[in-house]
Amino acid sequence: MNSSKLNYAPSRPFNGGRGVRTRGAAARDLGRGGARRGDAAGGSMTGGGKRRPRGAAAAAAAEAAVGEQCEKNGDVKKRRSDQADIPDALRQEAETCYQLRLPEDFYQFWKFCEELDPEKPSDALVSSVGLTLVGPYDILAGKHKKAKLTDVNFNLHWRFFYDPPEFQTILVGDSKTQYHMGYFRDVPDELPVWVGANEAKKNCLITPVGDNVFAAVKLFLSKKIKEVTDKKKSAVLKEIDEKLTRTAKELGYSLEQKTMKMKQRDKKVVAKAFHGAGLVVPVDKNDVGYRELPETNANLKKICKAIVDAPTDEERLKAFAPIQEMLTFVQFANDECDYGMGYELGMDLFCYGSHYFHKTVAQLLPLAYGLLRRGLFARIIEAHLAQRRDERLDQLEP
């Protein structure tokens, strides 16, 4: 295949802020790749997409944000009195390695596992529940000090094939399905919005399982208890479930799968994306910030399938035409500050999983993250695309 026809000019490094953007600046960043602009399907805006009217939804989201802030303020006071007994230096090390803040439930769950197995807290749930504490928990366990590699990129540590930059793995389960749980953040310098789960061997779907790790493991335990027929195993699981429930209640953590805070976040979602977790971008009172893609998720998947399944390079190039057109639409959207459009297209192509889209994703997502001021996510996606794999995910493996 003459790949030059599909590989667009690399995006320029983002300078750290939006600044004043001249007409066509984002188009130059993305590169047109020879695409021709077609008629804007179903929208009156330049570039094919249309901004979604928000009206009441915008007001609800604003209301939700106020409620969430109040909830956060209330939480802070409670957490300070119930802070996990983990040295500040160790907390700092874990958060520095990832360049991400970790919520208090992360540390409290470590202390809970320490009570179950003081020698190996990371393995406290392995034999009974089938879950291992990984990722930033490896820092608390001191595993990083024994690693052979000295320049470990922790944001690739336990990063599964379909994990977007927003997802940070903290627990792994069945290796056959690559079941794992992790914190999901909309913005890198904010705390997670919830804990999600994915089975990378099956698909890219990320399912919310609670707004803290106690709730996520409680849900996992509940399902496990229903499946187990052995009385002894069932008794062990129920005992752990009771301990976890008691600890969570004492610490004030909700054990609901979907809390009010999570529902409030749902109101801010502008697009579900292929992974189903939803994308959140700032949208102002004039609805500037996001415009819809000209294709539905179902149609975009058909386009992707046609590209991947094309029998020849020539056929693949033809099948790529709708994506080229959408790239042009993204250029116009970026020029008009609707950065969410390129974010959505880039994420969908990443989630589809084919290497045929990697170079396009490498232009769309780092640029979108830069425009949204989510620089760490841009660096994570670039590193992940360079080493995207479905095995050997433990970066600290001796």
Catalytic sites, residue numbers: 336
Structure tokens at 160: 């599964």
Q: Residue 201, Cα to own-chain centre: how many angstroms?
A: 17
- Any residues with CB less than 8 A from the CB of 92 and at least 6 apart, and which? none
Angle between helices 340-352 and 297-309 (to 10 degrees): 50
Cβ neighbours around 374 below 10 Å, total:
23
Give Rg (Cα) of the chain. 22
Structure tokens at 396: 């600290």
For residues 371 and 290, is the Cβ–Cβ distance under 8 A? no
For residues 381 and 361, is the Cβ–Cβ distance under 8 A? yes
Please state, in angstroms and as integers, the Cα–Cα distance from residue 352 to each residue in 241, 363, 383, following that order.
36, 16, 18
3-state secondary structure 51-114: CCCCCHHHHHHHHHHHHHHHHHHHHHHHHHHCCCCCCHHHHHHHHHHHCCCCCHHHHHHHHHHH
| Beta strand ranges found along the chain (DSSP E) | 132-133, 167-172, 179-184, 194-199, 207-210, 269-271, 279-280
Please state, in angstroms and as integers, the Cα–Cα distance from residue 81 to each residue in 76, 85, 172, following that order.
9, 11, 30
Label the pairing between strands 167-172 and 207-210.
unpaired
HSE (side-chain half, CA atoms, 13 Å) at 258: 6
Task: Tell which residue, 221, 216, 219, 160, has the closest CA to residue 193.
Answer: 216
Residue located via tokens 């415009």: 291
